[in-house]
A = this chain, B = another copy of it.
């Protein structure tokens, strides 16, 4: 195949656009798609400081790379989620990328700041890992952006990610989630930072091709918690459809943005107030992240206490109900 632009040997085929590019013009294609997303969605300008959330994977490092090359004012944010070796390795990739290029990287460290990682949050509160992880990431990138004065946070979600989330929301007709799914979520409260997804026009295999062509050293392994995740199943189903009819994912997601989302976007913005514990915006008295981390901390305390009691050969000195540490602290179930 020939490059659509220069007629030289093509290296990347983009079937859904019936085209192909050489390395140089593929990068140009990506740049053009990202600029269209940023300008079309009024995501940010070259004057705005943009916080790019980087996981160490191909999508987010590629996004940071594109935005930096295009002259946007970016800093990276790596969030250590405490997922064992996977987190350590992905942090090395993010740090390596930034250090090599002299780019500004912030680190948020959940195990350091909260005493445990997202897996422990999940176990202790009966959430699935991906739910505890997503909640933690959304909380932290908003908090860091606010604390550090960034008006906008960019994430590396690509077309495949968005199409898979959309399919999941449609399979269960989650109309509230459908209403909130968009490449641009404006700030609806002074303490809620604008969130944007400049890669929503770019397919996953294209972000991978970009990262390879640009020589970005990223973590190839998937998160160990993603094994059996519904999102991977939805991607598999969409890949089957895309294979038979290139452009299906784009048609699903872009069509939703054009014709589907306006139908569900009826509800008003919720009333937000400051969490009484951390000050972050929430619809409740205490925000979901504080509720999760506080419940996790309380449960961990119970576990340590029980373990101690079980390992002791001596009979307890006092009946358990009189112990100073409550054996059954009141923890809301929901």
Q: State the A residues within 8 Å of B (CB).
A: 170-173, 175, 230, 233-234, 236-238, 240-241, 244-245, 248, 251-252, 255-256, 258-260, 263-264
| Residue in B173, B245, B259 whose beta carbon sits within 8 Å of that of A260 in the complex | B173
- Pair B236/A171 contact, Cβ less than 8 Å: no
A-B contact pairs, 21 of them (CB 8 A): A170-B252, A170-B260, A171-B241, A171-B248, A171-B251, A171-B252, A172-B251, A172-B252, A172-B255, A173-B252, A173-B256, A173-B258, A173-B259, A173-B260, A175-B259, A175-B260, A175-B263, A233-B240, A233-B245, A234-B241, A240-B240
Closest B residue by C-beta to A163: B171
> How far apart sit A258 and B252, CA to CA, in the bound complex (Å)?
21
Q: CB within 8 A of A244: which of B173, B233, B258?
A: B233
Q: How far is the CA of A245 from the CA of B172 in the complex (A)?
A: 12
Minimal Cβ-Cβ distance residue in B for A240: B237
CA gap between A173 and B251 in the complex, in Å: 8
Instruction: Given A171-B241, A171-B248, output 18 extra A-B contacts at Cβ < 8 Å.
Output: A170-B170, A170-B252, A171-B252, A172-B255, A173-B252, A173-B258, A173-B259, A175-B259, A230-B245, A233-B240, A233-B241, A233-B244, A234-B241, A236-B240, A237-B237, A237-B238, A240-B240, A263-B263
Minimum distance in angstroms from A296 CB to a CB of chain B: 28
Cα–Cα distance between A214 and B289 once the two chains are bound (Å): 56
Whole-angstrom distance between the alpha carbons of A248 and B237 in the complex?
13
Complex CA–CA separation, A236 to B236 (angstroms): 11
Chain B nearest Cβ from A290, distance in angstroms: 31
A230–B245 CA distance with the chains assembled, in angstroms: 9
Residues of B within 8 A of A264 (CB): 263
